[in-house]
Amino acid sequence: MFGIENYLGFILAAMLLNLTPGTDSMYIITRSISQGQTAGFYSVLGITSGILVHTLLAALGLSVLLANAPTAFMIVKYIGAAYLCYLGLKMLLSKNSSSIANNLSKDPNVTSRKAVDGWQIYKQGVLTNTFNPKVALFFLAFFPQFIDASYAYGMLSFLMLGLTFATTGFIWCLSLALLASKFSKKLRENPKIESMMNKISGVVFMGLGIKLLTEKA
């Protein structure tokens, strides 16, 4: 079907890979704990959208260019690492400790602020995943194992596998966000704890950025 071999095996492998902790999982968990369930949901949407971007790149053959061009790999790697460090530094330096009381405010302007915050979290999730070159290389290394080389429409095979991987990833990431956000409700009732969680999240993001920057290709 669509030039895909052992589709069930791919689904099982994708589920196992989704369970492996990584940058995306840490991003979702830290967002959910420090900012709540809504932030976690937006971060899941952002990460999933990033996966779809990589799916399109793989289908168009651009991932091959990334894998065979050391300069392109390093540029994307530095951009991704710098962006994670930027997010971490921004959270560390932030003095805005919005408590749960503010989130429950009856002010009509609160809704619009939430929407803006959600959009920002979504964009950050997209960029966090998109500018991680290891995701592109993973697609390039993993997907071909389940594609029939003689199939004339290889792009369609990549798209189908990418959509499948995005779906399994979305389900797992959403579960992470829901579980993590349950702990955040009580934590965020105390402004000091909320502020501390933001600082911890900042350290985690900076650590992830530095790790990505120092890892060998």
**pLDDT by residue (tens digit) across 100-144?**
434 434 444 444 434 447 889 999 999 989 988 778 777 777 777
Q: Tell me: the pLDDT tens digits for 24-34?
A: 888 888 888 87
Q: What is the DSSP letter of 143?
A: G
Banded model confidence at residue 86, pLDDT cuts 50, 70, 90: confident
Tell me how far apart the terminal alpha carbons of the chain are, to the nearest angstrom.
Answer: 34
Amino acid at 28: I
| pLDDT over 60 (residue 164) | yes
| Cα–Cα distance, 13 to 173 (Å, whole number) | 16
Higher pLDDT, 102 or 202: 202
| Cα–Cα distance, 23 to 29 (Å, whole number) | 10
- Residue range 61-90: mean pLDDT, rounded: 72
- Residue range 161-176: mean pLDDT, rounded: 92
Q: Specify which residues 4 forms β-bridges with.
A: 147
Angle at alpha carbon of residue 24, lines to 159 and 39, rounded to 5°: 105
Number of other CB atoms surrounding residue 181 within 10 Å: 22
- Residue range 48-77: mean pLDDT, rounded: 76
Q: Domain residue spans in the chain?
A: 33-95+118-214
b/e sequence 6-43, b meaning 16+ C-beta within 10 Å: eeeebbebbeeebeeeebbbbbbbbbbbbbbebbbbbb
Whether pTM > 0.95 for this model: the answer is: no
